Amino acid sequence: MALYSEKVMDHFRNPRNVGVIENADGVGEVGNAKCGDIMKMYLKIDDDVISDVKFETFGCGSAIASSSMATELIKGKPVSEAMQLTNKAVAEALDGLPDYKMHCSVLAEEAIRSALDDYYKKKAENEIRDLHDR
Amino acid sequence: MIYADNAATTKMSSRAIETMVSLMKETFGNPSSLYTIGQRAKEVLEQARKDVAEVIGADPREILFTSGGSEADNQAIISAAKIGEKKGKKHIISSAFEHHAVLHTLEKLKKEGYEITLLDVHEDGLVRPEELEAAIREDTCLVTIMYANNEIGTIQPIREIGAICRKHGVLFHTDAVQAIAHVPVNVVDDNIDLLSSSAHKFHGPKGVGFLYAKKGVLLSNLIEGGAQERGKRAGTENVPGIAAMAAALKEAAEHLEENSEKLKKRRDQLIAGLREIPHSALNGDETRRLPGNVNFCFEGIEGESLLLLLDDKGISASSGSACTSGSLDPSHVLLAIGRVHDVAHGSLRLSLGEDVTEEQIHEIIQSVKEVVEYLRSFSPIWRDLMAGKKPFIL
Ligand SMILES: Cc1ncc(COP(=O)(O)O)c(C=O)c1O
Ligand SMILES: [Zn+2]
């Protein structure tokens, strides 16, 4: 039996949406080097729709595959929908992960959530600034 | 395909396979039976004992066959602990980077009231004999230090350690699983009382090993039952496996010097090539290491993804990253030599086989360079390091 499903290996070998977005509307980084996985997500958002997403990951095969799959699942989706992304959905879309690797999918969910939080925070700040300017 | 994980296990030699198969076919008798076919098996068993003993400079009566390295470690340590207990001595000295077969046995003894001192192995992965001597107490019953480390390959000053133990009248056990058949080992010259070995690390079969116990060192019975192995380990002997182990060991011993010279050359080429990767570091002392062991840390990447991509390129290797062990902590060996978590996750062990060619060394170097560079290209840690947001560790 292989360590990972075909889907995981595909996303690990050919990760989708790798890279950075300059001046992203939302950026989130989760995990730490101590535990061995770090994920960073960059979002470009137009009219509350995720028009582009990129990631960078330091981590194992399932961490890279989970980041890749998570970006695919939210790309082109409204922000409200992306907020609902669960680690279970990421793992299922990858045809499953070994039990002791489920934390990688959790990290992907958290990375997206963190980038969206950053987006909302920036948006709120901008609105306050707009109010001041007026 | 380049198999570079010989520290995990080795491919059986043709001689070992042939020995095993022919015994399975023709000499299937029980060594405890009195008829010819049984006695023939008994002869094979005792010849194997002689052959094994000869290679390490022991007496055949000092060799006990086991199911491998883990069993030998368990039995050696438990036996020495029992001997100590009878004299009221319940202190054991070991090192921080032993194999789990040793460390977990010591943890068990700790729960039974033994005191354990783990010596520092320093940045170079070597135990200091003077620190060992200073740690010996009135109630020390055992010193157990591995001959060579399975991850970083460092070879301990065993002879000196043995001499110190002898001077203080303390039993000395060494887990020589990685050393036997790869470096010259002589139990008399090295002052060893107990030694563990495993056949699958030197082109023998899996599930077979031996424990050397110096005459006069009383072993505890690990398995109760029949009178096999002088009653110390009951159970009908694995005659084909044991004979195959002896065949593999003899073969390795015959070629030890030439293999070692060749391997060291390849090892050093590989080390030189991997050093060209920026922000990398060799783990363990550069010269006092097993002839086929290379172990590096690469900053900014994680070991499992490195292994998977090397596998795609036909290279089998291993790593001490947390993700390959299923725990959150990277290898205790790398932590013991002072590698911090961040870089310990990015480790790679390449343990070469005797048949590795120079072209294969170049292929490994090329592949590792490519994969490390690729993984760094989308590593957020690497980005921060390059942007000067965090200082490089390596
Ligand atoms: C240093 C060391 N000790 C003990 C063992 C265990 O040997 P075995 O697999 O034969 O039980 C190994 C093998 O991984 C080892 O490398
Ligand atoms: Zn992981």
Task: Give the pLDDT score at B132.
Answer: 98
User: Judging by DSSP bridges, how do beta strands B347-351 and B293-298 pair with one another?
Assistant: antiparallel
CB contact under 8 A, B342 and A40: no
- What whole-number distance in Å separates Cα of residue A123 and Cα of residue A117? 10
- What whole-number distance in Å separates Cα of residue B270 and Cα of residue B60? 39
B19 touches B162 (CB < 8 A): no
Residue B325 has pLDDT above 70, yes or no: no
Does B320 reach chain A within 8 Å, measured CB to CB?
no
Per-residue model confidence as pLDDT tens digits over B29-70: 999 999 999 999 999 999 999 999 999 999 999 999 999 999
Domains and CATH numbers, chain A: 6-133 (3.90.1010.10)
Q: Determine whether the shortest distance from the Cβ of B101 to ligand 1 is under 6 A.
A: yes
Band (B321; pLDDT cuts 50, 70, 90): confident
Closest residue by Cα to atom 5, ligand 1, is B69
How many residues appear in chain A? Answer: 134
Q: A29 contacts in B (CB within 8 Å)?
A: 380
Six-digit token string for A85? 């992304």
The residue among B158, B145, B150 whose CA lies nearest residue B92 is: B145
- What whole-number distance in Å separates Cα of residue B120 and Cα of residue B112? 24
Check: complex ipTM more than 0.85: yes
The residues of A carrying an active-site annotation are 35, 104
Say whether B297 is catalytic: no
pTM given for the model: 0.95
Six-digit token string for B149? 């480390």
Per-residue model confidence as pLDDT tens digits over B137-183: 999 999 999 999 999 999 999 999 999 999 999 999 999 999 999 99
Q: Determine whether the shortest distance from the Cβ of B177 to ligand 1 is under 6 A.
A: yes
Does A56 reach chain B within 8 Å, measured CB to CB?
yes
- Which residue among A15, A29, A33 sits closest to B345, beta carbon to beta carbon? A33
The residue among A56, A45, A54 whose CA lies nearest residue A122 is: A45
**In ligand 1, which atom is closest to the CA atom of B146?**
1
Q: Determine whether the shortest distance from the Cβ of B280 to ligand 1 is under 6 A.
A: no
User: Looking up tokens 């368990």, which residue turns up?
Assistant: B74
A70 touches A18 (CB < 8 A): no
Which residue from B77, B154, B198, B249 has its CB within 8 A of the most atoms of ligand 1, so it is best to mutate? Answer: B198
Task: Give the pLDDT score at B107.
Answer: 98
Task: Give the pLDDT score at B329.
Answer: 78
Per-residue model confidence as pLDDT tens digits over A97-129: 999 899 999 999 999 999 999 999 999 998 888
The residue among A52, A53, A49 whose CA lies nearest residue A108 is: A53
Task: Give the pLDDT score at B328.
Answer: 66
CB contact under 8 A, A58 and B328: no
Task: Give the pLDDT score at B313.
Answer: 98
Best residue in A53, A58, A66, A99 for a mutation probing chain B (most B CBs within 10 Å): A58
* CB contacts < 8 A (A, B): 70
Task: Give the pLDDT score at B326.
Answer: 60
Does B301 reach chain A within 8 Å, measured CB to CB?
yes
Does B269 reach chain A within 8 Å, measured CB to CB?
no
Annotated catalytic residue, options B141, B165, B297, B323:
B323
Domains and CATH numbers, chain B: 14-254 (3.40.640.10), 256-386 (3.90.1150.10)
Q: What is the CA radius of gyration of chain B?
A: 22
Task: Give the pLDDT score at B214.
Answer: 98
Six-digit token string for A129? 């600034």
For residue B136, CA distances in Å to B27, B91, B124, B276, B364 come to 49, 9, 23, 43, 44
- What whole-number distance in Å separates Cα of residue A51 and Cα of residue B12? 56
Residue A1 has pLDDT above 80, yes or no: no
